[in-house]
Structure 1
């Protein structure tokens, strides 16, 4: 068998993820966009909601294409849509700000979803014996994008303004995706067969088609487990700066807390899936749930720097969930169709990301949290722990017994 470097597609996928992860720092773009287009905060924030929905749609449809055509064409297609969305955002006239919804929220968001799922699926195929490790590397760089690009984007926005910032970023990302996308390809049949010989359980694992997957009870258990683990982050994150100042943090310390959450989320994306290879996916999910539950309860009264620590731990658990669930999906339903299968699981992420921030607005008074701000995500954690306990085994063959 011809020697194949399995770390090259992993590295290439990680670099691409680092670039496309910038889509998640809309909160950094938003103040400058609001000023440039004379947009209200409510109107500008809709961009992120649209992006979240199209991101998941991109995962589902891009995953389907990935499973049929392989990751390279999907990475190029998704990357092209991502770059085009950012590029076209730079040409939006000041009297038509709603086009940001179309280009940044819709086109770029969809492209990111397609490229995101393809790089994850590709990495898992190269590391069939270490799916958690490979997934962790990929999604860690996606999360690290917040830390890397926040100061860069801030500097560009101040130096050249909104339009030129989008233009510069689009050019850089186009070059990166064009170069590194070429190396995102699935391993050969000989490579896969060698794994099947060394790990015979792989060849016996049922490879679920999407319609087969959604007929199993385990699809709904995993769906709910993801949906209920993320509310604490989605509810608290928009309130981070204002809530930090209410808890006796200076404005500078509150802003530093935002950066710390980015680092913690990236760390969770790396550590949790790696740990899941060692002690099992379900056990790690229990740990993430318990960390989130304890921290959200302590946040009801935490002050000063304890507040930052607790927020960081919630971000760590949130990031960890992004790293563990792709591996959980592959474990239960096989690697063959994991691109689209994981996309169908990720609908839970979109539901949580749209539903719980809306709930948070209802239970806050003039932007100030009430006890319900903390009780609701805590209750979600309790229900989520019960649901996760129904995942009896990390083995995919259990799903076939449903």
Structure 2
């Protein structure tokens, strides 16, 4: 509504103001837990050590490969939905439903990984991306929304589990910087997805999305715990 009435620039400015208030207020009240004499120093690899490991390379590639099943299509989701029979007035619901599914994935997948283990949930994430990509390729009318929401659920869920998986592998001492380097894989995957969305026909993008999800699953499967020194 804001974008329609005042334009996209005002819409983004309003969104930035809301994020500043909400995130700034939350950051202002955060406090570190009290330190006790019995607290052990955190252990873990720093980024220079992490970058040399096979585990990091596999994780970065897996993170990159989680992006194409969603980002190959998200710039054109309105036109894809209407071309497949969804009423034009209902097409914007793809964004609403996709956002809701994304939020649910960010909550439920990490919670599941606390109980079931990080790798098991990540297996489910990549299988979900593969299955959702197949469904999205053949979906018509309202099923387009369901398939797209499935993809956003697993994409965001995987992104939320990865920081914990990264900390489990490389320790907590340098977890912030280490995850920043892991997130470079997501940036690379996003860039390649954009290039693919511009260069490839829709049918080829569907096949690429399925393939990326399956190769990402293999990468996660190959990740082993670091040897204990």
What TM-score comes out, normalization by structure 1 length? Answer: 0.53
Residue 183, structure 1, aligned to residue 29, structure 2: yes
Give CA-to-partner distance per residue, 1:346-400, whole Å, 9 cap, x none. 0000001111121121112xxxx2x2010111111121111111123xxxxx224
Q: Give 2:153's aligned residue.
A: 316
Backbone CA RMSD of aligned residues: 2.3
Q: Give 1:224's aligned residue.
A: 61
Give CA-to-partner distance per residue, 1:308-335, whole Å, 9 cap, x none. 1111100000110121001111111111
Q: Which runs of 5+ in 1 are unaligned?
A: 1-153, 197-202, 393-397
Q: Give 1:135's aligned residue.
A: none
What is the DSSP-based 3-state SS (H/G/I as helix, E as strand, rest coil) of the residue aligned with 1:299? helix
Q: Shift in Å at residue 181 of structure 1?
A: 2.1
Give CA-to-partner distance per residue, 1:186-244, whole Å, 9 cap, x none. 22222982xx6xxxxxx7x8411110111111111111111112211110211211110
Which residue of the other structure, out of 165, 178, 181, is the alignment partner of 1:341?
178
Question: In 2, Cα distance between the equivalents of 1:207 and 1:272?
Answer: 25
Residue 386, structure 1, aligned to residue 218, structure 2: yes
Q: Give 1:328's aligned residue.
A: 165
Give CA-to-partner distance per residue, 1:160-209, whole Å, 9 cap, x none. 4556555555555544455332222322222982xx6xxxxxx7x84111
Q: Which runs of 5+ in 2 are unaligned?
A: none
Q: Give 1:250's aligned residue.
A: 87
What TM-score comes out, normalization by structure 2 length? Answer: 0.90
Question: In 2, Cα distance between the equivalents of 1:233 and 1:246?
Answer: 18
Question: In 2, Cα distance between the equivalents of 1:361 and 1:167?
Answer: 28
What is the DSSP-based 3-state SS (H/G/I as helix, E as strand, rest coil) of the residue aligned with 2:31? coil
Give CA-to-partner distance per residue, 1:9-31, whole Å, 9 cap, x none. xxxxxxxxxxxxxxxxxxxxxxx
- Does structure 1 retain, via aligned residues, the 8 Å contact 2:43–2:172? no
Output aligned runs, 1:3-402, within 5 Å: 154-155=1-2, 157-161=3-7, 165=11, 168=14, 171-190=17-36, 193=39, 206-364=43-201, 369=202, 371-392=203-224, 398-400=225-227
Higher RCO, Cα 8 Å, sep 6+: 2
